[in-house]
Amino acid sequence: MAALGMTMALAGCGSTGGSGDVTLKLVAADYGNGSSDRSDKYWTTLATEFESKHPGIKIDVDVRSWKTVDRDVAEMVKKGRAPDIAQIGSYADYAKDDLLYTADEVLSVPTQANFLAQLSDAGKVNRIQYGLPFIASARLLFYNKKLFKSAGVSAPKNWDDIRTDAEALKANGVTTPIALPLGSEEAQGETMIWLLSGGGGYTNNADDSYDIDSDQNVKTFEWLKKNLVEEKLTGPVAPSKLDRTTAFKAFTSGQVGMLNGHPTLLLDAEREGVDVGILPLPGIDGKPKPAMGVADWMMAFKQNNHGEEIGAFLDFVFEDKNVLDFVGQYDLLPVTYSANEAMAADTRYKDLATFQKVLPTAELYPSGKRSWGGVSQDIKDHIGQAVEPGGNPAAVLGRIARDATAEETSE
């Protein structure tokens, strides 16, 4: 890291100002769970500080729910009103339409070199980086230690344990033994977690093509439907109607025995006095499977020709202090080498060590695919139908798979 730091220092600084009075439109996703911790506050404070150092540049902050932000940006682009900067879930479709600046067109060399290599690679289309990782996280299985102890069960080691633990929790009066949030907020994430645990995933490792309706994936959803949903172990809200935020709030209020979660949930649980255990979601047969990793992306649109001003702001965004301020607020993982080292050395973040440990081997969304934005939205909108009464997992996954392949291969 010292060598990297010297290299970065020698590389010089990025752009330090604008070319006149320019207003940059920033659309970003909200990472908060309520009015008290909305991301507006972070971005507004950051923008004010940046503007004080760059009097020729203003930042127009527009923070939107994760439920709609990807769709909202797509609509803005479609109408010819692309933001200058978007912080959302996917970038590849815009890159392949030649709507984005490349990373080296807007970032200083030190900033671009500081990204974790795994994440820089995930931000590339045809070996050119367009997607700028903003935050990272990994998904682990959370369980309420108090509820588990009361029900006389221990942390699960395979899927059979997950079912029997959930049954014991239900018999002991737990409202939601295991939450399965397949509602529109982040169903694509919950889906991928279970697919990986079942030995599958969204793509075929051999050629990186979509493999959404593979035999393993169908069997995974058949298992979820038969063993959890139909046995009424997933609580009073149907999985297709249950959003991640609602499930997290129920967990921190002591109503949920276990669910898949990201690091932010640790902070929320601690605030509410919930004693939490965390572990990678066991594989179907108990053998370890890759955890799901997530990188949310920033991208710079070319439409308004504000590359210099965008670069100045993004270099500021990725300074260690600003990165750690954001990830520290939401218990997420930084995307740069220097900020990761600072976090690892700070005892305030010791609870995140397990997440940092699994991140290097975690599998990410197929964000480099042009079609991923639309496919992700399709999964959000429809995957919950696979576990509804009368639902057919093979049919639902098959339809999503056919549409994904058609979208990816279309011109």
How does DSSP assign 5-23, residue by residue?
A: HHHHHHH-----S-SSSEE
Backbone torsion region of residue 336, taken as left when φ is above 0, otherwise alpha when ψ lies between -120 and 50, otherwise beta:
beta
In 3D space, the residue among 71, 50, 145, 86 whose CA is nearest the CA of residue 380 turns out to be 71
Burial of 187 (0-12, 13-18, 19+ CB in 10 A): buried
In angstroms, what is the C-alpha Rg of the chain? 21
Residues of the chain with pLDDT under 70: 1-20, 411
| 176-178/140-144 β-pairing | unpaired
Q: Residue 173 has which token pair?
A: 């009066």
CA angle 47, 48, 54 (to 5 degrees): 85
Secondary element (H or E) of residue 117: helix 117-122
Helix (H, G, I), strand (E, B) or coil at 147: helix
Secondary element (H or E) of residue 121: helix 117-122
Note the pTM of the prediction, 2 decimals: 0.77
Q: What are phi and psi of 50, to 5 degrees?
A: -60, -45
Q: Identify the sign of the CA torsion 401, 403, 406, 408.
A: negative
CA 318 to chain CA mean position, Å: 18
pLDDT tens-digit readout, 359-381: 878 899 988 888 888 899 999 99
- Can you spell out the DSSP letters for 287-325? S--PPBEEEEEEEEB-TT--HHHHHHHHHHHTSHHHHHH
CA 57 to chain CA mean position, Å: 30
pLDDT reported for residue 20? 57
Q: Residue 236 has which token pair?
A: 């009073």
Helix (H, G, I), strand (E, B) or coil at 136: strand
CA distance 89 to 262: 16
- On whether the CB atoms of residues 139 and 292 are closer than 8 A, the answer is yes
Spell out the long-range contacts of 274-278 with Cβ–Cβ below 8 A and sequence spacing 24 or more: 274/144, 274/146, 275/144, 275/145, 275/146, 276/142, 276/143, 276/144, 276/145, 277/142, 277/143, 277/144, 277/145, 277/148, 277/155, 278/140, 278/141, 278/142, 278/143, 278/354
Q: Residue 146 has which token pair?
A: 């108090």
pLDDT reported for residue 17? 44
42: CB partners within 8 A, 6+ apart: 325, 326, 329
